[in-house]
Amino acid sequence: MDFVAITIWYCFAFLGYVALIFQADYFPKHYFYLGAIVLAAICFIELPFLSNDYFRFLWDGEMIHLGINPYDFSPDHLIHSKDFNHCYYLDLYAGMGELSRSNYSCYPTFNQLYFYLSTGVYKDIWTNVLLLRIFSLGTILIAVFYLEKLLIESNLNPKRSLVFLLNPLVIIESVANLHYELPMVGILIISLYFLLKNKLLISGVLFAISVHVKLIPLLLLPFFLSFLGWKKSIKYYSTVGITTILLFLVFIHLDNYENFLLSLRLYFKEFEFNSFLLYPYIQYGMMEFGWNLTSLYAPKLAKITLVLILGIAWHRKSIDKSEMIRRILLGIMAYYFFTSTIHPWYWILPLGISLLHFSWSIILITLFAILSYGIYSFGNDSDYRIVLEILNLGTVILFFWEYFKPQKFDKFLPKIVR
């Protein structure tokens, strides 16, 4: 399916989604939950069509079953061994793409557990992808139970969960394309529930597990200090830190930690995709010096991001739950504004957080996010990229307008989020 066709169908799906959340107050929520499950089940039929990451997921899982640490060897190191001349391994190797073949795994420990549970029995890609989806969806089904409790605890309509569960970006990127933002957000939501219930030990352990699905929840840690205070924060951070280290020690040791960091460095220093602020710098470097300056500017922008996030999190000594959530959303937006890589599925995290502080701008971003796939069709240096930059700028302006003047948007809110 070509990019134009995908975009047209996605826009129709998005219009249907918006209509549903405006009508959701008039129907029992289990109808919508059933609809979300049906849509997810439809995605089970086909292999992921907008991403080839699942080949690496299966490869890592199979390596663990073979007793091979996924941080010790890249696929290029192993594929020529006689143990890997089975057509199943050759298909995984061919499908994952050159960048993945030549690098060590960058997926943390708990993410590797999903890969391990989905492999080792069948030498069949479709069957193992089905298992990946089942375990991923199993996580979010558990999380929905706690999500409703979290919304009720926050004096919010539990039907708000539909804003997340029915979003086309969530269904396409998490179920169809098998990105692990959905289970990461699910575990994070359970962690936030226990955090607000003042059960810091359980929350801290779950938070560390969410980090070991995707590392990005680490961005949220500074925002808990002003909410919990120093005494509780020390206990919470200690729990998160110890659990995170213990989980890393499952696979990482002194001989391979540099391999893991090397793979991560690609995303923060060498790789650029759909960046907002870095892209103009890259174009400037190409015109002025004749080479790509990503490796020079990306680390500098990362340092600026860190300072901004800490400033947003700590500029007042004490904040309530609502203000903490608002600041988390602002911090995530600051990170995405300065980062070198913004894949469409990255927006699933702020969408999940926004259930506690509704944001039309983030909903709108999930519509435009799919357009970044056009970079593969039209090229990174085309006029299409300029259009994306303009759309990104527009959504950033809308976010800040909504953030500082939320009352202006009250009349546009669906009943389930009022």
Question: What is the average pLDDT value for the chain, to the nearest integer?
Answer: 89
| pLDDT of res. 391 | 86
What pLDDT shows up at residue 25?
85
At 415, list the tokens.
């009943």
- Contact indicator for 147, 355 with CB cutoff of 8 Å: yes
Task: Give the lowest-confidence range in 17-21, 78-82, 304-308, 380-384.
Answer: 380-384
Taking residues 85-109, report their average pLDDT.
92
Specify whether the CB–CB gap between 381 and 351 falls below 8 A: no
In total, the chain counts a number of residues equal to: 418
pLDDT tier at 291, thresholds 50, 70, 90: low
In this structure, are residues 310 and 222 in contact, taking their beta carbons and an 8 Å threshold?
Answer: yes
Q: What is the pLDDT of residue 294?
A: 67
Helix, strand, or coil here: 333? helix
Task: Say whether pLDDT at 185 is over 90.
Answer: yes
Tokens representing 39 are: 């849509």
Strand ranges in 41-170 using DSSP code E only, listed in sequence order: none
Q: What pLDDT sits at residue 319?
A: 83
If one compares 115 and 372, the residue with the highest pLDDT of the two is 115
pLDDT tens digits, one per residue of 396-408: 888 989 888 888 7
CA distances from 322 to 94, 101, 177, 328 (A): 48, 44, 33, 10
Q: What is the pLDDT of residue 277?
A: 75
Mean pLDDT of 290-294: 65
**pLDDT at residue 381, rounded to an integer:** 65
**CA pair distance 231, 225, nearest whole angstrom:** 9
pLDDT of residue 174: 93
Q: Rounded mean pLDDT of 73-82? A: 91
- What pTM did the predictor assign? 0.93
Q: Is the dihedral of CA 97, 99, 105, 107 positive or negative?
A: negative
Phi, psi dihedral angles at 38 (to 5 degrees): -65, -45
**Helix, strand or coil for residue 238?**
helix
The residue-averaged pLDDT of 194-217 equals 96
Rounded to whole angstroms, the Cα distance separating 309 from 217 reads 13
Q: What is the pLDDT of residue 268?
A: 67
The residues with which 273 forms a beta bridge, in sequence order, are 341
Angstrom distance (rounded) from CA 301 to CA 296? 9
Domain count, the chain: 1
Residue 300, pLDDT score = 79
Structure-token pair, residue 26: 């008039």
Mean pLDDT, range 81-97, rounded to an integer: 91
Q: Residue 29: which pLDDT band, with cuts at 50, 70 and 90?
A: confident
Confidence (pLDDT) at 1: 58
| Range in 131-135, 349-353, 381-385, 390-394 with the lowest mean pLDDT | 381-385
b/e 316-343 (16+ beta carbons within 10 angstroms → b): eeebeeeebbbbbbbbbbbbbbbbbbbb
Q: What is the structure's pLDDT at 284?
A: 64
Residue 303: per-residue pLDDT: 84
Read off the pLDDT of each residue in 298-320 and give the average, rounded to a whole number: 84
Res 95 pLDDT > 90: yes
What does the alpha-carbon distance between residue 366 and residue 181 come to, in Å, rounded to a whole number?
14
263 Cβ partners below 8 Å, 6+ apart? 103, 104, 105, 106
CA 166, CA 361: separation in Å to the nearest integer? 17
Asked whether residue 257 carries a pLDDT value surpassing 70, the answer given is yes
Q: Structural domain of residue 233, as residue ranges?
A: 3-417
Please tell me what DSSP assigns to residue 317.
Answer: S
| Mean pLDDT of all residues in 238-263 | 93
